[in-house]
A and B are shown apart, each in its own frame.
Chain A
Amino acid sequence: MNRKYCKLLLLTFFSILSLSVSSQNLLVGIGGGGGTYQMNPIKDFNSTIVELLPFKPELTDNFPPYFLYQGEILYQFPRYLAVGAQFYTTSTGARLTLGDYSGHYTLDNIQQGLFPGVRILIGKAPAGSNGLNLSLAGGMSFSRMTSHERLEVYDESVKDDQKYRSEGWYIQPGISFFYTVWSGLKVSATGSYYYGFEGQYHLPDQKDQKLFNSQSNDPIKPQWEGVRLNLTAYWSFVRNP
C-alpha cells in the first residue's frame, strides 16, 4: 500500500470527520507510542551478509524499538463494547558499516510496516466511566524492506538500492485504560502484544520473486512480534438525545 496514498486517504477521512457535527457514538483517536520488533529472519539475513562479505562490517543498529503512529475510529455501544477500525505504522532498521583508510562500506536495512485492522474493546470504558478494557485488534500487515548499500574504495564507489514487499496479518491482544479528560476528549493508554503471520518478502509487483537466505535457504520475512505501548487521544462524537 503506497504510503502517500495512505496519507491522502487518512487526511481526507479525518477532514471529513472533523467537519461532521452529526451525533454519532463515535470515538476518533490519534496517538502514538513505541514498539519492539524481533526481526529474527532479517537479523539472520544480515549475519549471512556479514559472512559472505570478505571484510567484516560491524552492526551499529540492529532493529531497535521505534515509534509507532496510530489512528482509529471506534463505535461505542451503550455497554461494554466498542468496535472500530484502526491503523498504525511503525518502522525500524539496521546498519552494517565498516571504514578504514582505503574505503567505506554501509548497508542500511529499513523495515516499515502498515497495519490496518479492526479493533474490539470490551469493558466499561470508553462508553462508561474510566477504566480498563480488554483490547483485541487484528488485520493486515503490509511490510516494506528497503536496503541501501554503499561501497567506496579509494576513488571508486558503488551503490545498490533494493526494495521488497511483504503482506501478512496479525492479531494484537492488549489492555487499554481509558480516561475522560472532558466530555469530548478521552485519552487511553494501551499495552498490547503483536502476533504476526507475515509473508515472505518479494520484489515489488512480482510476488513470485521471493527473497531467501542464501545460506540457510530460509525465507526472509519481517517479524514484527513484540510489545506495543501507545497513548491515544479520542474525540467523542456522542448522539444528543
Chain B
Amino acid sequence: MRRTFFHSLIFIFLTFIGCTFEPDGDHFIELHEQGVVPEIGVDLNFATDTIYVQKSEWIRFSYSNNGDQVNWAQLVIDGEETAINDTPSGGLELRWYLEGKSKTVFPLELRLFTKSQTGSIADKLGAEGFLISKTWTLVVRNPDMMGVRMKKAELTDGTLKLTWDMFKGTDFKEYRIYREIDYYQQSFVQVATITAQEQTSFIDQNYHGERSRYWVVVNGQFYGPSVSVEGPLPELKAVNLTNGDIQLSWKKPPFYKNLKGYRIAYRNDTGSIEPIGEITDTGIESFTIPNPKFAFSYEFYLVMIPKSESYYDDWALNQFLSTRAGSTYGKITPIFTQAYAGSEPVSFLLNNYQRIIAFDHRSFAPLREFGYGVNISWFDVSSNNHYLVCKLNTPATIVLEDLVNSTNTKKLNLSSTFPEMGHIASVSDQGTGIVLNGQTAVLFDYVHEQKIAEITLQFNNLFANKISASGNFFFCETNAYEYFRYKDQQIVRLPDFNPDKDYVLHADYLPGQQEKLIQSFSNRVEMIDCNTWHVEKQWTFSEPITEVYNLDMKNGQLFYRQGNQLRLLNVFTGNREDLCTTGESYYLNKWMLFYNHGQILWGQGRGIDVTGTNN
C-alpha cells in the first residue's frame, strides 16, 4: 500500500511538473471612434495656388511638416510623377523632370494621411486617420517671365509705398528691391532685401521726390518690369505782403515724412544758390523772407532736405529736389524808366515812354497821369512843383504842364524856333529851360515861348543837363561837363571844377537863396556854391560809390549806392544813412532807382519804405 501511495505521488508530481505559469489579464480602454483632424503645419517650397515653374530640366518640390501627426505624405504631378514618404515627421521631395513635356499647365497634388487622434492602437500604428489633399496648378514659364511686376509706387501717409506681385515660383529666397535715380553715380541702388515671400509691399523712407524707377529681382535672377515715380514736388508761390515783404508758400509734399525739413535759398548775383534759412518742421507751409534785397529779382528755391540717406549732393538737391518761384521785394508801384521830383513827396514817373504818372508817396498810389498820344522821350519837373516839361517824339514838340493852373498847359511846336532841336532837359521854377539846337544851348522861356539867351557848347553830344531853380545856373553834359551862368542877359561859362576830368556820376542843383551844385564822383561828393563858384564842402568815400540816383531837393538827401548797400548822404549835415541792401553785383543804372519822402522806388514796379518818418 505504501508503494501504491508512493507511486501515486510520483504520478502526481510528474503531472504537475509539466504545469507552467500562464499569464492572464486584459486591459481594454474606451475610446471615441470619431477622431479629430489634426492641425498640420506644412512647409512647402512654394506659397501660391498657382505656381510658376521655370522651364528648365529639373524642378524640385518639397514639403515638410512640423510635427508627428502625419502618417505618410505623397506628392503627385499630373497623376503620374509621385514621391511618397511615410516618415511621421519629416520631409518629402519630388524632383520633376520637365524637359520634353509639351503641356504648360499641370496639376500638383499633395496628399497627407494624418493621424486620427483617437489614441487607439490603429491610430498609433498609423492604420487609421484622415486623408487630406490639396492641389495646385503648375504653369511652366520661360525664365524671362518668372520675375514679378512692381505694381505701383504710391505716395501715401507721407511716404512712398511700393507694392508688387507675389512671386509664384518655387524655392523662394528673397526679393531685392532696386531703384534707379537720375543723376546718381551708380546706375542703381538696392533699396531693400525681403525674405518673406508673402510680403509684397515696402515703405521706402528714402524717397524724397527724386525721379526714380523701382523694380524687383527675385532670388537674384528673376527681373520684373519697373514702375516710375517722380515728385511731385510742391508748387512754390511767392506773394508780396501789404508791407512789401515776400512770403513763400507751398503745400507739404506727399512724401513729407521722409524729409527732415526744407531749405529756403535763392540764386544770387553770381549764379550760385545761396541759402536763406532752414525749416525743420515739414508741416510748415510758409516762410517770410528776412531782410530782403530791394531792386533784386529773386529766384527762390524750396529745397527738400532728406531725413535719411540721400543719394544726392547739394548741387543735385538744388537741381532736382527743389521747386522755384520768382519775386521781388516791395509794394507795387508803376513801372518807370525815368523819375523826377520837385520838393514835394510826389514823384513823376515815365511809364513805358507813353505817360507820366504822378505818384504820391503819402498815399503810395498814383495821383494823376499825363499822356499825349505819342511817346515821351524826356521830361523834368521844377523844384517848386509848378512846371512839368516834356519832349515828345514828335519832332520839336514840347509840352509845358502848369501843375498849378492846368489852363496854362500848352503844347509847343518849336520846329521853326529850333530847326535843329535836339535834346532838352529840366525846367526852372520860372518855367525856363535849356534847349539844344545843334551845338547851341538855348535858354528858353517855355511860358512866354521866347529865347532868353544862348551859348555854343564845346561838343554837340548832349547827354544830360540841369537848370537850377532860379534858372540862373545850368550845366550840360557833352563829352564832359560844361557849367554856365546866366547873368546880365547873357550866358557865361564857368570854370571846370574837375580838372582831372574825373567821371561825374551825378550833378544837380539844390534850390534856395544860395543855390548849390551837388556833384558826385566815385570817391567824393562836392557841394559847390554857385555864386562864388568854389567847393564849399566835400565828403570823401573810401569805398567807391557805384551809382548816384537822385538828390532829394527838399531834404538835401543824396541817394547813392556803394556795393550792395543803398545809402543817403545828407548834404546839409553830412550824415550818412544805410537804407537797405540790393543785389551784390546786380547793376542798377541811375534811372532804375529813385528816392523821395523816405521811400525808394524801383523802375521794375516796386517801392519800399526805408525810413520810419517822413522828412
Report A's interface with B, CB cutoff 8 A.
3, 7, 10-11, 14-15, 18, 30, 32, 53-55, 57-58, 60-61, 66-67, 69, 71, 89, 91-95, 97-105, 108-112, 151, 153-154, 156, 184-185, 233, 235
Interface residues of B in 1-36 (CB under 8 A from A): 2-3, 6-7, 9-10, 13-14, 16-31, 33
Kindly state whether residue B196 has any CB partner on chain A within 8 Å: no
User: Could you give 23 example pairs across A and B, Cβ below 8 Å?
Assistant: A7-B17, A11-B10, A18-B7, A18-B10, A55-B125, A57-B27, A60-B25, A61-B23, A66-B21, A89-B17, A93-B22, A94-B23, A97-B26, A97-B27, A98-B29, A100-B28, A100-B31, A102-B127, A102-B128, A103-B120, A103-B121, A110-B22, A112-B21
Residues of chain B contacted by A94 (CB below 8 angstroms): 23
Instruction: With both chains docked as a complex, state the minimum distance between the C-beta of B67 and any C-beta of chain A, in angstroms.
Output: 15
A30 and B120 contact, CB distance less than 8 A? no
CB distance from B564 to the nearest CB of A (A): 96
Q: Which residues of B contact A105 (CB under 8 A)?
A: 121
Whether, in the assembled complex, B123 has its beta carbon less than 8 Å from a beta carbon of chain A, the answer is yes
A153's contact among B3, B27, B30, B121, by CB below 8 Å, is which? B121
With A7-B14, A30-B9 given, name 12 new contacts (CB 8 A). A7-B18, A14-B10, A18-B3, A32-B16, A53-B124, A55-B125, A60-B24, A100-B119, A103-B121, A153-B121, A156-B127, A233-B9
Within the assembled complex, what's the spacing in Å between the Cα atoms of A98 and B19? 26
CA of A111 to CA of B23, assembled, Å: 10
Question: Closest Cβ of chain B: how far from A91's Cβ, in Å?
Answer: 4
Task: Name the A residues within 8 Å of B25 (CB-CB).
Answer: 60-61, 95, 97
**CB of B104, distance to nearest CB on chain A (Å):** 45
Question: In the complex, which residues of chain A have a beta carbon less than 8 angstroms from the beta carbon of B120?
Answer: 55, 100-103
Asked if A102 contacts B13 (CB within 8 A), the reply is no
Most B CB atoms within 10 A — which of A10, A69, A100, A112? A100
Q: How far is the CB of A134 from chain B (nearest CB, A)?
A: 25
Q: Check B127–A153 contact: CB distance below 8 A.
A: yes
Question: B13, B17, B31, B33 — which one has the most chain A CB atoms within 10 A of its CB?
Answer: B17
In the complex, what distance in Å separates the CA atom of A185 from the CA atom of B5? Answer: 11
Question: Nearest Cβ distance between residue A86 and chain B, in whole angstroms?
Answer: 13
Given contacts A58-B27, A100-B29, A101-B120, contact A110 B21 (CB under 8 A): yes
Are A93 and B23 neighbours in the complex by a CB distance under 8 Å? Answer: yes
Give the shortest distance, in Å, between B69 (CB) and chain A (any CB): 13
Question: In the complex, which residue of chain A has the Cβ closest to the Cβ of B128?
Answer: A102
Main secondary structure of the interface of A (DSSP, over half): strand
Residues of B within 8 A of A185 (CB): 2
**3 interchain residue pairs of minimum CB distance:** A60-B25, A95-B23, A102-B122
What's the nearest-Cβ distance from chain A to residue B236, in Å? 77
Q: How far is the CA of A48 from the CA of B608 in the complex (A)?
A: 105
Cross-chain contact B18 with A154 (CB below 8 angstroms):
no
Considering only CB atoms, which chain B residue lies closest to A3 in the complex? Answer: B18
B125 contact set on A, CB distance < 8 A:
54-55, 153
CB closest chain-B residue, reference A185: B2
Total interface residues on B, CB under 8 Å, equals 35
Q: How far is the CA of A54 from the CA of B120 in the complex (A)?
A: 10
Chain A residues within 8 Å of B119, by CB? 100
Chain B: CB-nearest residue to A61: B23
Please tell me if the beta carbons of B31 and A101 are within 8 angstroms of each other in the complex. yes
B26 partner, pick from A60, A111, A153, beta carbons under 8 A: A60
Report how far A193 CA is from B156 CA in the complex, Å.
Answer: 92
Q: Which residue of A lies closest to B126 (CB)?
A: A54
Q: Which residues of the other chain, A, contact B118 by a CB distance below 8 angstroms?
A: 102
Instruction: Tell whether, in the assembled complex, residue B127 and residue A67 are in contact, meaning their CB atoms are under 8 Å apart.
Output: no
A18-B7, A55-B121, A100-B120 are known contacts. Are A69 and B23 too (CB-CB below 8 A)? Answer: no
Report Cα–Cα, A151/B124, bound state, in Å: 13
Closest approach, in angstroms, between the C-beta of A67 and any C-beta of chain B?
7
User: Which residues from A are CB-within-8-Å of B26?
Assistant: 60, 97, 99
What's the least CB distance linking B115 to chain A, in Å?
10
A105 to B120, CA, bound (A): 11
B29 x A99 contact (CB < 8 A): yes
Q: How far is the CB of B289 from chain A (nearest CB, A)?
A: 85
Across-interface contacts of B23 in A (CB, < 8 A): 60-61, 93-95, 108-110
**Closest CB-CB distance, A140 to chain B, in whole Å?**
17
Q: How far is the CB of B586 from chain A (nearest CB, A)?
A: 96
Q: Which listed residue, A98, A99, A102, A156, touches B123 by the CB 8 Å rule?
A: A102
- For A69, A92, A102, A112, which residue has the most chain B Cβ atoms within 10 angstroms? A102
Complex CA gap A54/B119 in Å reads 10
Q: Which residues of B contact A57 (CB under 8 A)?
A: 27
Beta-carbon nearest neighbor of B27 in chain A: A58
Bound CA–CA A3/B17 (angstroms): 9
A237 to chain B minimum Cβ distance, whole angstroms, is 11
- Do B123 and A69 have beta carbons less than 8 Å apart? no
Which of A55, A92, A103, A156 interacts with B21 by CB under 8 Å? A92
CA distance A32 to B19 in the complex (A): 12
Contacts of B28 in A (CB 8 A): 98-100
CB neighbours of A112 from chain B (8 A): 20-21
A67 contacts B121, C-beta separation under 8 Å: no
- A18–B14 touching, CB < 8 Å: no
Q: How far is the CB of A15 from chain B (nearest CB, A)?
A: 8
From B123, which residue of chain A is reached at the shortest CB distance?
A102
Contact yes or no, B2 A184, CB < 8 A: yes
Q: Determine the chain A residues whose CB is within 8 A of the CB of B122 once the complex forms.
A: 102-103, 153-154
- What CA separation (Å) do A185 and B6 show in the bound complex? 10
